[in-house]
């Protein structure tokens, strides 16, 4: 008997007392593993996540969490052959496995990198700028994201057991939430192997990842207001979860990614022989056959201009005829099996429903013509292309979760957009066109109904990742029928898991809360220039207030000649006098900023290593010859970089004139050594 899958629950591997049910190889029908619906104590798992995993995770900064994700991605990369070998048993070809295994690991790498580059080395995220709430500047507001002291329950579909798990785990982990993963039973053996590899690595703090290799009963019963559920699967199950009392009345957040009748639109500008025609045909065939069409983003509806239907169908049929279907262990096979015989039955049922208003344009609904002779026990199905009759409703309602697409015709872009919208909200759409007006009209029409829209043409095709690939940096999810949830999208997905609050306070106390100096908060002028202080010595609020410097007409003329910026407002007194904003010669903004640098700098070698940019530069009051400017530079934020002997210091810079009016405000970004003299020196 094959091994019974185990759950990783409350710090140990749990094995059910019964023998479970067999999980079969999708292509050969042999038993791969056994799965018991009797899982571990879910209440204990939730407690473990809350009491052990969550606190350990939230003690780490975003950068530390990101470093763990990166280490994990490297660890899984070194072990992916083992995952590949097991993945074939799900019916996946090596191309499908790349999407699942490499795609999942790539998502970890992407979040590791985003976490360091786009999140602070802190445990809270500031959202937007400071809001001044009173005239005197003593009462200010700031939006702030904090981690919830809860649990992220992730219920995954059968089709991508590795990617589906890691794409949910990575943003939740960065957000400080421990995860309980519930894989779909059919392919749970692959998810279990990936979790074993993760747990064995010891990289993730205990309690931050638990696996429920068991039935879902009671999974939501223990959840409360700080917890969330991210679900991928059928609209039917989504409906059950939506009606759970803890979701309806208990404040549990539910994100759903369910059925999606994605479409691809062939632009009316495209003719046979155009590069876009081939791209369209290739795209549809790829989406029908990758993972045997068991992809939430696959193209189910093929929208073409009426007169092009015959030509498109011929081209699709010619290409589909070359797709060899069979056991994915055979290197000649291009399309493997569906995940299970049960899943194939579901697809056949959907095809029967579609055929009420559609003809078969290519393929055999009975699924003959396999490459391998012995296909009796495998969940094989050959690609099937249907052509809908005018007015058909089924293609917009029935999702065949397999290698099946339906061609529909449109007359004019308005109808194409209206047909796309009849899917009632989808994950992804594509429009294949080289016409800017078609691209603009179709994208603006489709976007409210879709989470992602690809515009494909000859220029981006070489680098395009295709219609069906969710990317970690782009939003994955869709409105309406697609579930209304949003996953991925870079840091957006991290913030989805966190709580945004508006904090109102005085500048001093807001500085204390956020760890970032707030305009109006106390400043300290240390007895040494702050540029002489290492990262270890610098404090938020350390300030240098410069002496004033008078800007002369010669300064402005010199800067104009030296840089070549001889714009009339700096060089031509008569023309400048007619400028409604200046009324005479003014200093270049960049001259003001350059002079300010000269005023605040401490030039000798010291802990400040480099200036790597400015943020939010605004020129507020024109500077004229004779004006005296001064600058105040204040340490706003200190971010040590892990793994480097320096960190980032963000300085608040305010340049004022002799009347105290601000002429320029910005943040100066520098790299400062952690110790000085450097320890190595
Ligand atoms: P299901 O909705 O049946 O299962 C999805 C996940 O939900 C599985 O992990 C399943 O566990 C779990 N689950 C089932 N019932 C409950 C419950 N009452 N409470 C909590 N969790 C539950 O979908 P399938 O994976 O079986 O796929 C069926 C159809 O869903 C496909 O044919 C396709 O139409 C659609 N689908 C859509 C996807 C998308 O992203 N748009 C992706 C995959 C599927 P268990 O396996 O143990 O039952």
The pLDDT tens digits for 633-661 are 999 999 988 888 999 999 999 999 999 99
In ligand 1, the atom with minimum distance to the C-alpha of 186 is: 46
Phi and psi, residue 506, nearest 5°: -75, 160
Provide the percentage of residues in the chain whose pLDDT is more than 90.
Answer: 94
Q: Give residue 374's pLDDT.
A: 52
Tokens, residue 678? 């450097």
358-362 and 263-266 strand pairing: unpaired
CA distance readout (Å), 37 to 159, 188, 189, 195, 409: 19, 12, 14, 18, 46
Instruction: Note the pLDDT tens digit of each residue in 483-500.
Output: 999 999 999 999 999 999
C-alpha angle 350-354-358 in degrees, rounded to nearest 5: 155
Ligand 1 atom nearest residue 236's Cα:
2
Q: Degrees (nearest 5) of the Cα angle 204, 195, 120?
A: 35
Please say whether the beta carbons of 504 and 139 come within 8 A: yes
Say whether pLDDT at 538 is over 50: yes
Q: Is the pLDDT of residue 226 over 70?
A: yes
- Give the pLDDT band (50/70/90) at residue 559: very high
CA of residue 238 to ligand 1 center, whole Å: 8
Task: Using alpha carbons, select from 488, 322, 288 the residue that is nearest to residue 403.
Answer: 288
The answer to whether 23 touches 189, Cβ cutoff 8 Å, is: yes
H-type alpha helices, 202-295: 235-242, 245-248, 275-289
Residue 236 CA to ligand 1 center (angstroms) comes to 8
pLDDT confidence of residue 87: 97
Q: Of the ranges 165-179, 372-386, 593-607, 628-642, which one carries the lowest mean pLDDT score?
A: 372-386
Q: Which pLDDT score, from 0 to 100, does residue 401 have?
A: 95
> CB under 8 Å, gap of 24 or more: what pairs does 272-278 form?
272/311, 272/315, 274/434, 275/434, 275/457, 275/458, 275/461, 276/432, 276/433, 276/434, 276/456, 276/457, 276/458, 277/315
Residue 547, judged by CB atoms within 10 A of its CB (0-12, 13-18, 19+), counts as exposed
- Which H/E stretch holds residue 95? helix 94-97
Query: What is residue 54's predicted lDDT score, i.e. its pLDDT?
Result: 98
With a cut of 70, say whether residue 371 has pLDDT above it: no
- Does 520 have pLDDT greater than 70? yes
Q: Cα–Cα distance between 408 and 392 in angstroms, integer?
A: 9
C-beta of 185 in contact with ligand 1 (< 6 A):
yes
Q: Could you tell me what percent of the chain has a pLDDT over 70?
A: 98
* CB of residue 410 inside a 6 A radius of ligand 1: no
Which entry of 6, 167, 257, 487 is annotated as an active-site residue?
A: 257
Average pLDDT over residues 520-547: 95
Q: What pLDDT, on the 0 to 100 scale, is given for residue 681?
A: 43
Which DSSP state fits 675?
S
**CB of 167 shorter than 6 A to ligand 1:** no
Interatomic CA distance for residues 312 and 679, integer angstroms: 69
Closest atom, ligand 1, to C-alpha of 219 = 20
Find the catalytic residue in 6, 167, 276, 296: 296
ipTM (interface pTM): 0.94
pLDDT at residue 368 greater than cutoff 70: no
Mean pLDDT of 12-17: 96
Angle among Cα 334, 297, 112 to the nearest 5 degrees reads 95
Q: What's the mean pLDDT in 91-120?
A: 96
Q: Is 263 a catalytic site residue?
A: no
pTM value is 0.92
How confident is the prediction for the chain on average, in pLDDT?
95
Q: How far is CA 160 from CA 26, 103, 367, in A?
A: 14, 10, 24
pLDDT beyond 50 at 55: yes
């Amino acid at each position: 008997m094959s091994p019974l899958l185990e759950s990783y629950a409350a710090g140990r591997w749990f094995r059910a007392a019964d023998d479970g049910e067999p999980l079969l190889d999708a292509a050969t029908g042999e038993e791969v593993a056994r799965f018991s619906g009797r899982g571990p104590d879910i209440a204990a798992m939730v407690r473990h996540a809350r009491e052990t995993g969550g606190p350990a995770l939230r003690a780490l900064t975003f950068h530390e969490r990101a470093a763990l994700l990166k280490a994990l991605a490297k660890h899984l990369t070194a072990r992916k052959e083992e995952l590949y070998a097991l993945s074939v048993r799900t019916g996946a070809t090596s191309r499908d496995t790349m999407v699942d295994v490499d795609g999942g690991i790539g998502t970890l790498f992407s979040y590791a990198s985003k976490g360091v580059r786009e999140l602070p080395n802190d445990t809270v995220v500031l959202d937007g700028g400071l809001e001044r709430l009173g005239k005197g500047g003593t009462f200010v507001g700031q939006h702030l994201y904090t981690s919830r002291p809860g649990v992220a329950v992730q219920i995954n579909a059968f089709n991508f057991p590795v990617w589906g798990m890691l794409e949910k785990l990575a943003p939740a982990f960065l957000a400080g939430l421990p995860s309980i993963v519930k894989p779909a039973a059919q392919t749970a053996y692959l998810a279990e192997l990936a979790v074993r590899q993760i747990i064995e690595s010891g990289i993730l703090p205990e309690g931050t990842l638990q696996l429920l290799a068991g039935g879902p009963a009671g999974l939501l019963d223990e959840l409360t207001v700080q917890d969330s559920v991210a679900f991928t699967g059928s609209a039917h199950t989504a409906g059950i979860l939506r009606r759970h009392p803890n979701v309806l009345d208990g404040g549990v957040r539910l994100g759903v990614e369910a059925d999606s009748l994605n479409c691809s639109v062939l632009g009316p500008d495209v003719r046979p022989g155009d590069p876009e025609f081939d791209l369209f045909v290739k795209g549809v065939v790829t989406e029908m056959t990758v993972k045997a069409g068991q992809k939430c983003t696959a193209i189910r509806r093929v929208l073409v201009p009426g007169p092009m239907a015959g030509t498109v169908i011929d081209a699709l049929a010619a290409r589909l005829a070359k797709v060899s279907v069979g056991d994915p262990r055979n290197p000649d096979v291009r399309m493997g099996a569906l995940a299970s015989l049960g899943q194939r039955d579901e697809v056949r049922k959907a095809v029967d429903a579609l055929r009420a208003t559609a003809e078969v344009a290519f393929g055999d609904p009975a699924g003959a013509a396999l490459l391998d002779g012995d296909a009796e026990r495998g969940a094989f199905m050959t690609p099937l292309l249907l052509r809908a009759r005018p007015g058909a409703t089924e293609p917009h309602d029935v999702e065949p979760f397999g290698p099946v697409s339906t061609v529909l015709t449109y007359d004019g872009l308005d109808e194409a957009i209206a047909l796309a919208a009849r899917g009632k909200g989808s994950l992804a759409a594509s429009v294949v066109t080289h016409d800017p007006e078609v691209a603009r009209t179709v994208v603006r029409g489709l976007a409210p109904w879709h989470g992602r829209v690809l515009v494909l043409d000859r220029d981006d095709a070489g680098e395009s990742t295709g219609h069906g690939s969710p990317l970690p940096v782009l939003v994955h999810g869709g409105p309406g029928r697609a579930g209304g949830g949003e996953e991925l999208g870079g840091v957006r997905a991290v913030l989805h898991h966190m709580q945004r609050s508006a904090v109102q306070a005085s500048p001093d106390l807001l500085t204390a809360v956020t760890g970032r100096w707030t305009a109006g908060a106390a400043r300290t002028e240390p007895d040494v220039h702050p540029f002489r202080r290492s990262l270890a010595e610098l404090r938020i609020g350390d300030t240098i207030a410069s002496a004033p410097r008078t800007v002369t007409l010669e300064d402005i003329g010199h800067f104009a000649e030296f840089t070549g910026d001889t714009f009339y407002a700096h060089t031509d007194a008569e023309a400048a006098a007619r400028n409604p904003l200046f009324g005479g010669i003014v200093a270049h903004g960049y001259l003001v900023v350059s002079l300010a640098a000269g005023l605040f700098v401490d030039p000798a070698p010291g802990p400040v290593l480099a200036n790597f940019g400015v943020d939010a530069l605004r020129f507020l009051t024109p500077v004229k010859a004779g004006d005296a400017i001064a600058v105040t530079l204040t340490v706003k934020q200190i971010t040590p970089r892990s793994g480097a002997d320096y960190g980032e210091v963000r300085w608040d810079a305010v340049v004022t004139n002799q009347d105290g009016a601000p002429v320029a405000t910005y943040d100066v970004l520098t790299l400062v050594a952690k110790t000085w003299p450097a320890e190595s020196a």
